Every structure is written in C-alpha cells, then in structure tokens.
Amino acid sequence: MAFTIKVNGNTHTVDVDDDTPLLWVLRDVLGMTGTKFGCGMALCGACTVHVDGAAIRSCITPIESVGNSAVTTIEAIGATAAGARIQKAWLDREVVQCGYCQSGQIMSASALLASNPHPTDADIDNAMSGNICRCGTYVRIREAIKQAAQSTGQGG
Ligand code: FES
Ligand code: FES
C-alpha cells in the first residue's frame, strides 16, 4: 500500500507492504544508501536514523509506524547544529576506520548532543551502547563526542 513519509525535509510516497522496515524503504526504494544494514535485529546500530529527533533502529521500524514523523538520515544530519558539530569532531579526531558502522554512530551521537549538550561519560555510554564497531573506534568516538560538546555554545 502507499505510504507518504517525510525524509530530510522532503515528502516521498512509497508503495510497500505495511511491515516493510524503514531501512529497506530508505535504501532500496529511495536509494539513500548512507544508512547501513548490519544485523537486521536491532543489535548493531548500523541502521540508526532519527524519527522526530530520536535515534531509532530503522531495521526494526515498520514503515506503517512512521506516519507523519520527520525522518532524518546521515545524508542530512550535517544540516543540523548538533550533527554539524559531531561531523566536524569526527573529522578532527579521525574517528573512522572501515566506516561501516559510522553512519549509525554519528546518528546516535547527534541525537545525544541535540538532547543533552553536555553529556557525562555515563550519558555517552548509555546513548552509544547499542552501536557496535568491529574496528574498535570507541575511544575516538568518545573523544569526538566530548569535543563536539565542548564546542556547544561557542558558536561552533
Ligand atoms: S541493522 Fe539495525 S541494528 Fe543492526
Ligand atoms: S569503523 Fe569499522 S566497524 Fe566501525
């Protein structure tokens, strides 16, 4: 059936089954391949996007549950204040190794910073615990989130 969804400020009408995961719609129907498939079972975080600003796992989010909510993906996160700070910090700290998990990492980190501009270590651990990195970039991820948080309120 037809669903109309809002992704990165644009409206799209897609014709898919009710239970089609948002991840499939983004990648296979809309061709937005920045969001990655890892496990398909909410275990790795590679598929993380924002729905109304909250980080969610798109692999287990059926399209019928999205409704009029605003979906934001890695393709547009740099247009948000928190996303821009996170992406700058990611580059400054050279966080990325193979890169496969990093879309999801950046989406989780951006959602954290947008809702909590000065997260504690525990806040960071809590927000990022569902994002797995097989390359082990966790130390640099934490440093980058702290750098991005320090730039909050400094015009950065
Ligand atoms: S692909 Fe969604 S959490 Fe792994
Ligand atoms: S950078 Fe390779 S899996 Fe995270």
Structure confidence by residue, pLDDT tens digits, 13-61: 999 999 999 999 999 999 999 999 999 999 999 999 999 999 999 999 9
85 in contact with ligand 1, CB cutoff 6 A: no
Can you give the pTM of this predicted structure? 0.96
Structure confidence by residue, pLDDT tens digits, 98-149: 999 999 999 999 999 999 999 999 999 999 999 999 999 999 999 999 999 9
Q: Own/partner pairs for 134-140, CB < 8 Å, 24+ apart?
A: 134/98, 134/100, 134/101, 135/97, 135/98, 135/101, 136/97, 137/95, 137/96, 137/97, 137/101, 137/102, 137/105, 140/93, 140/94, 140/95
Inter-residue contact 113 to 86 (CB < 8 Å) = yes
> What residue has token string 């990655």?
36
132 in contact with ligand 1, CB cutoff 6 A: no
Banded model confidence at residue 151, pLDDT cuts 50, 70, 90: confident
pLDDT greater than 50 at residue 156: no
List b or e across 58-68, with b for residues whose CB sees 16 or more CB atoms inside 10 angstroms: bbbbebeebee
Pocket of ligand 2 (CB under 6 A): 96-102, 133-135, 137
Banded model confidence at residue 153, pLDDT cuts 50, 70, 90: low
pLDDT greater than 90 at residue 152: no
34 in contact with ligand 1, CB cutoff 6 A: no
Quick one: 30 exposed, middle or buried, by C-beta within 10 A (0-12, 13-18, 19+)?
middle
Would you mind telling me the total number of residues written for the chain in this entry?
A: 156
Give the ligand with the smallest distance to the CA of 47: 1
Structure confidence by residue, pLDDT tens digits, 64-84: 999 999 999 999 999 999 999
